[in-house]
Amino acid sequence: MFERGKKDDVLNDATDGRSTVAQRSHVPASTSYAGQRGECAVIGQSIQINGDLRGNEDLRIEGDVSGTVELKNSNLTIGKAGKVRADVYAKSIAVDGTTEGDLYASERVVVHVNAQVRGNITAPKVGIEEGARFKGSIEMDPDAVEKALGKVNMQRNTKADSEPQRARPTETRPAASKTVARDLASNSNPPAGAA
Amino acid sequence: MGRATARAARDTPEALNAPLFRQLAERFDETQRHVVLDLGAASTPMLSLLGRSPSRVEIADLAAGAVIERLNAAAPGDELDALAESSLPGHDGSEPVDLVFCWDLPNYLAPRAASALMWAIAARARAGALAHALVVYAERGMPERPGRYVPGDDNRLVDRGVRAGEIAAPRYSPEAFGQLMHPFTVDRVRLLANGMQEYLLCLKP
């Protein structure tokens, strides 16, 4: 279930309706994922996550994520099946699916054809392909980007100080993907239609 | 010229020399911050141009999702005013807009809808803000849907819009267009090679 595998294996698992959270995926260099070269974690199509998602490795979301996504030093791809209702912070963000919330990237945001983005984008470089749907504001001032990303760091630290008893949010770590998968699964809502 | 080459040449949109747009584009080589409202769809070439200076860009994409049709059908008064405001992207009011790209969208708006929209824009713009627009003038007809203009080489405009059918163009005179775009007033007008008139308007204090 949580074995390392190729991208195709992950997609096959997803079509079988089995959990595919945080599996390793080999993404070909020719694909347009957000700066990914080689492995990345994948949240599969049948997975729903409600809450804070943090990590330090590249991630591709094909499932349904609500809350906050923080991958400050890593790349995030929201795949064609991905639905994200969250404010997203990452090094770079590529959107093929649907997002509702603000996107913050220290390097770039790319909105691919057929993607739908509702919310604001803050990044020094932004690309929007013809056919993509976007309505909102785009902040490209590097100082404003830095300020926005710094502000969320401060908010997170303040929140952590004021809520010491609260359970740690979900984190993805490169060296412990099996544990990560279990953590993510336990924090996830059951898939739509599940009992 | 072979048949295929001729077809390719016909299908490739011609780059349009629009001097007023070029002048505006040159402003983005400076370090000054701009707050831009783009009534058209977002495009990478336009964002690359605007991103040369530390800008904030608000994208309205009025041509998508039947926004134009809803504005044209709205009852005048509060309903139309509210719809005009909601058709623009959210604006926190912290920084007023200083440049508006209308493209050819005013040709597709009923006069009262265009007026309501410009008043809604004026409410979020600073005094002295500029608006750029393209008006079909020489031709009697225009494409059924608004164009999708992007800056090309030398900041010439390329229309990447899909050309399906044709409808009658309103062919506003400068005076009529000035009334339509009130409270923005016409500052400069140029007749372009494709028969459109290019306008630069200014929001007077």
Lowest mean pLDDT among A33-37, B74-78, B162-166, B194-198: A33-37
Residue B78, pLDDT above cutoff 90: yes
Q: Per the CB < 8 Å rule, is A136 touching B59?
A: yes
Closest CA to A80 of A180, A11, A181, A172: A11
Instruction: In whole angstroms, give the CA distance from residue A94 to residue A111.
Output: 6
Provide mean pLDDT across the span B83-92: 91
Q: Do A138 and B42 touch (CB under 8 A)?
A: yes
- Summarize the confidence of residues A2-11 as an average pLDDT: 33
Q: Does domain B15-203 have CATH number 3.40.50?
A: yes
For A145, which DSSP code?
Answer: H
B80 or A193: which carries more pLDDT confidence?
B80
User: What does the CA dihedral B22, B28, B34, B38 come to, rounded to 10 degrees?
Assistant: 50
Residues of B in contact with A32 (CB under 8 A): none
- CA-nearest of B102, B89, B92 to B24 is B102
The pLDDT of residue A146: 84
CB contact under 8 A, A138 and B56: yes
**Domain with A125 in it:** 7-164
Determine which of B38, B46, B48, B59 to mutate to test the interface with A (most A C-beta atoms within 10 Å). B59
Asked if A132 has any chain B CB less than 8 Å from its own CB, the reply is yes
For chain B, the residues whose C-beta falls within 8 A of a C-beta of chain A are: 33, 41-44, 47, 50-51, 54-61, 64, 89-91, 148, 160
Q: Is A137 on the interface with B (CB under 8 A)?
A: yes
Query: CA B194, B199, B202: angle at the middle one, nearest 5?
Result: 170
What integer pLDDT is reported at residue A161 of this predicted model?
60
pLDDT band at B81, cuts 50/70/90? very high
- Does any domain span residue A105? yes
Q: Do A127 and B51 touch (CB under 8 A)?
A: no
Mean pLDDT on B142-154: 93
Centre a 10 Å sphere on the Cβ of residue B191 and count the other Cβ atoms it contains: 11
Contact B124, B97 (CB under 8 A): yes
Q: pLDDT category, A24, cuts 50, 70, 90?
A: very low
Domain residue spans of chain B: 15-203
**Is this structure's pTM higher than 0.80?**
no
3-state secondary structure of A47: coil
Cα–Cα distance for residue pair A150/B81, rounded to 1 Å: 38
Residue B103's Cβ-count burial label (10 Å; 0-12, 13-18, 19+) is buried
- Tell me if A33 is assigned to some domain: yes
What's the rounded Cα separation, in Å, for the pair B12 and B68? Answer: 27
Chain B residues near residue A132 by CB distance under 8 angstroms: 42
pLDDT at A152 over 70: no
Cβ(B195)–Cβ(B139) under 8 Å? yes
pLDDT band at B13 (very low <50, low <70, confident <90, very high): low
DSSP code of residue B32: -
Length of chain B: 205
**In angstroms, rounded to a whole number, what is the distance separating the alpha carbons of residues A147 and A142?**
9
Number of domains making up chain A:
1
Asked if B47 lies within 8 A of A138 by C-beta distance, the reply is: yes
